[in-house]
Amino acid sequence: MTAWLVRRLLWGALTVVGVLLFLFVLFFATAHPEDIARRALGEKAPPEAIAQWIANHGYDRPRLWNPADPTDTILFEHFRRMLTFDFGKSDADDVPIAQRLRQGVGASLSLTLPLFLLGIPLALAASLVVAFFRETYIDRVGVVLAVVAMSVSILIYILSGQYLIGVLLKWFPISGFDPDPAVVMRFLALPVGVGLLHGLGSDVRFYRTVFVEEGSKDYVRTAFAKGAGEGRVMARHVLPNAMIPILTHEVVRIPGLFTGALLLESFFGIPGLGSITVDAIHANDFATLRVMVYVGALLFIAAQIVTDVAYTIADPRVRLS
């Protein structure tokens, strides 16, 4: 177990290095520092200001190799900063990025956590019902509805949600956020509802396939033969055995809870990490974008390791090799 865990962690570390290399190529090898400076300062900035900006943000170092001092390169600095979580300042407005992350993560979690915790039981319950009625009209209608629901762009869910609930019915505010627990639910109700509706279609379709497949196995027939009812078989026999695909499907979503829901946050004016990312895109803020991708990848790699460990707990058949 220990040897397996060490190997798994080393592999994770190697992936982190790969991500950092990829980000280096993407952001430092393709974009010229002067272009980044111009985007931040404006097209008409004087050359001295641009040179000063480049020096301030550390873009004036040699990229790969500095004969005088091998540690004084962009590549080395990029790795050092990312690995020590010293993210530096935003390219757009010089605010420390770490401070932004700390401010945003709470708002993001307050949106994504309810979305995640309500979404799983909702999708599982709906797909269990559909799978229970498999090969009947209820099943067929359910599947078609799921495909219809997943064919609608999230933009349309958001816009029509805002228009119907916010503008016409005036049940909830169209957008905005207030961390005060007394009123926060009023602001979160609409984005959470829209997010649930958007995710439900593909989840129901996926879990239905899982349950139907699991339901055609031998042990299910045995359970039926011994006189267990349809409901008992679904809840006591099929559901536990379907845990592996469910775990895989859900645990890898956890990192997304922290990096936020890009569109939902931005449309509904929730100042989370998703909104920060969208602002960074509009401001050409490469430094912030880089950090967001890195943090997202880091969380994802961690979640994958957790999934692998969870496998061994949920399924004794999985051997650690």
Our finding on whether 205 is near another protein (CB under 8 A) is yes
For another protein, the closer CB: 150 or 228? 150
Are the beta carbons of 260 and 275 closer than 8 angstroms?
yes
Going residue by residue from 21 to 50, which x/- string records binding to another protein, judged by CB under 8 A? Answer: -xx--xx--xx-------------------
Give the CA dihedral 286, 289, 293, 296, nearest 10 degrees. 150
Q: How far is the CB of 235 from another protein (least distance, A)?
A: 22
Our finding on whether 200 is near another protein (CB under 8 A) is no
Structure tokens at 9: 């962690």
Q: Phi first, then psi: what are they for 89, rounded to 5°? A: -105, 155
Going residue by residue from 237 to 256, which x/- string records binding to another protein, judged by CB under 8 A? Answer: --------x--x------xx
Question: Residue 10, CB half-sphere, CA atoms under 13 Å: how many?
Answer: 6
Q: Which of 294, 314, 291, 290 is nearest to 302 (CA)?
A: 294
Going residue by residue from 90 to 129, which x/- string records binding to another protein, judged by CB under 8 A? Answer: ----------------------------------------
Give the CA dihedral 281, 283, 285, 286, nearest 10 degrees. 50
Q: Which of 256, 297, 272 is nearest to 105 (CA)?
A: 272
Among 92, 223, 293, 306, binds another protein (CB under 8 A): 293
For another protein, the closer CB: 178 or 213? 213
Our finding on whether 59 is near another protein (CB under 8 A) is no
Q: Which of 245, 32, 27 is nearest to 127 (CA)?
A: 245
Binders of another protein: how many residues, by CB under 8 A?
A: 51
Are the beta carbons of 18 and 304 closer than 8 angstroms?
no
Q: Which residues bind another protein (CB under 8 A)?
A: 11, 14-15, 18-19, 22-23, 26-27, 30-31, 147-148, 150-156, 159, 162-163, 167, 205-206, 209-210, 213, 245, 248, 255-256, 259, 262-263, 277-278, 281-282, 284, 286, 289-290, 292-293, 296-297, 300-301, 304
